[in-house]
């Protein structure tokens, strides 16, 4: 009896689970940072692609309006040159009319001819005035069109500036979302770690007197011989008793975990590397390990554990924890592992 107490005392002083908890917390934090980075990159890429499309469209409109403005300015300059030429011609015609009127006043002999020239010049002068008036009207119209184009360019530039300001606002929102997501996920990780520690602590209290149940990292390991008969997947009486204790601990813990934490208990079945005979119930170790994990899960469900909080997985002989073909190594590899994790 004293030797048994010493062995239990030595098993109780085990720093390895705490180290594993710290390491798992670090890994979860790294996964969280990568998740935030990927989400931020995805949202930012969507925002940047939308902004680039808007900027490209606005720049295209500005180029088109600038080209139209250049064309309108060229047409305006041509009309202004035409108006200047018409005004010069008008001034020349008025000078000629003044000269003829002077000749008319000076001599009566050429009065009739001068009248005919004055009439012609007057008619030409009226025609040139009409052309000049039309040119001035076109110049005025072009000035109005140029003013309208300038207003459109100003509106496009204002829209472009608004788009850039919106992009800056979106980037600020993305940064704020990342910070908030970081805080929320960190809180979730802390909560899950706390409940995982509570779960481990309670199971240690319940199962501390069993030598064939071990803690490996963040998992509880049951040797298959404790739970199942050789080659079978039906829980024996000892196995049912152990799983009943586990179900009680799970139900108590589930009452304390908030519903927003999406936790599950994963039940992993493992076998040794000895091939099964074809005459048995199971064709290979895959089927045997899966059947044992499912048997544990179904028993826990029958004890009241919610089915959506349980996961069964079979790994056959392909995840050994003890190398070699020695009987001790094979016995170690025949096991059921329990791990509290997130979906």
Confidence of residue 243 (pLDDT cuts 50, 70, 90): very high
289 or 242: whose pLDDT is higher? 289
Is CATH 3.30.70.100 the right assignment for the domain spanning 210-342? no
Q: From the CB of residue 42, how many other CB atoms can be counted at a distance below 10 Å?
A: 10
Please state, in angstroms and rounded to a whole number, the distance separating the CA atoms of residues 69 and 38: 46
Residues of each domain in the chain carrying CATH 1.10.287: 43-188
In our burial notation (b when 16+ CB lie closer than 10 A, e otherwise), range 284-316 reads ebbbbbbbbbbbbbebbeebebeeebbebebbb
Is the pLDDT at 113 greater than 70, yes or no? Answer: no
The fraction of the chain above a pLDDT of 70, given in percent, is 76
Q: What is the pLDDT of residue 112?
A: 61
Handedness of CA 295, 296, 301, 303 (dihedral sign): positive
Q: What tokens appear for 255 in the block?
A: 């009452």
Whole-Å CA distances, 200 to 112, 208, 216, 218, 334? 130, 11, 11, 8, 22
Q: Of 56-60, 110-114, 189-193, which has the strongest mean pLDDT? A: 56-60
Where are the CATH 3.30.1330.60 domain residues in the chain? 210-342
Cβ contacts of residue 151 below 8 Å, gap of 6+?
A: none
pLDDT at 297 over 80: yes
The span from the CA of 197 to the CA of 301, in Å, is 23
**Residue 254 is inside which H or E element, if any?**
helix 237-256
Can you give the pTM of this predicted structure?
0.47
Q: Which CATH architecture has domain 43-188?
A: Orthogonal Bundle (1.10)
How far is residue 249's CA from residue 116's CA, in Å, rounded to a whole number?
126
Query: What is the predicted pLDDT for the residue at 286?
Result: 95
Inter-residue contact 17 to 215 (CB < 8 Å):
yes
Residue at token pair 């239990």: 8
Residues 264-274 pLDDT 10s:
999 999 999 99
Tokens of 303: 């004890």
Count of other CB atoms within 10 angstroms of residue 87 = 15
Query: Euclidean distance between the first and final Cα of the chain, in Å?
Result: 44
Greater confidence (265 vs 87) lies with 265
Element (H, E) at 109: none
């Amino acid at each position: 009896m004293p030797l048994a107490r010493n062995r239990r005392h030595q098993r109780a002083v085990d720093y390895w689970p705490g180290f594993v908890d710290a390491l798992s917390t670090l890994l979860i934090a790294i996964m969280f940072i990568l998740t935030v980075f990927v989400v931020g990159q995805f949202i930012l890429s969507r925002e940047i692609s939308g902004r680039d499309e808007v900027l490209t469209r606005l720049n295209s409109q500005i180029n088109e309006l600038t080209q139209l403005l250049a064309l309108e300015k060229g047409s305006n300059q041509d009309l202004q040159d035409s108006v200047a030429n018409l005004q010069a011609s008008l001034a020349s015609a008025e000078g000629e009319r003044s000269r003829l009127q002077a000749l008319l006043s000076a001599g009566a002999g050429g009065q009739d001819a001068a009248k005919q020239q004055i009439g012609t010049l007057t008619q030409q002068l009226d025609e040139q005035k009409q052309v000049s008036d039309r040119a001035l009207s076109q110049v005025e119209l072009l000035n109005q069109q140029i003013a309208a184009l300038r207003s459109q360019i100003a509106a496009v530039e204002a829209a472009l500036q608004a788009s850039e300001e919106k992009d800056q606002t979106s980037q600020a929102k993305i940064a704020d979302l990342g910070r908030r997501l970081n805080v929320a996920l960190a809180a979730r990780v802390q909560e899950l770690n706390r409940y995982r520690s509570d779960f481990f602590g309670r199971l240690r209290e319940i199962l501390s007197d069993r030598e064939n149940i071990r803690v490996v990292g963040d998992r509880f390991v049951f040797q298959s011989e404790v739970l199942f008969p050789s080659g079978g997947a039906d829980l024996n009486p000892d196995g049912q008793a152990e799983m009943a204790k586990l179900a009680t601990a799970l139900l108590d813990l589930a009452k304390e975990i908030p519903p927003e934490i999406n936790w599950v208990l994963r039940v992993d079945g493992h076998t040794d590397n000895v091939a099964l005979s074809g005459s048995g119930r199971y064709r290979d170790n895959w089927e045997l390990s899966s059947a044992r994990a499912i048997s544990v899960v179904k028993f826990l469900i029958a004890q009241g554990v919610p089915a959506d909080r349980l996961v069964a997985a079979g790994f056959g002989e392909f995840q050994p924890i003890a190398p070699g073909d020695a009987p001790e190594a094979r016995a170690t590899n025949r096991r059921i592992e329990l791990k509290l994790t997130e979906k």
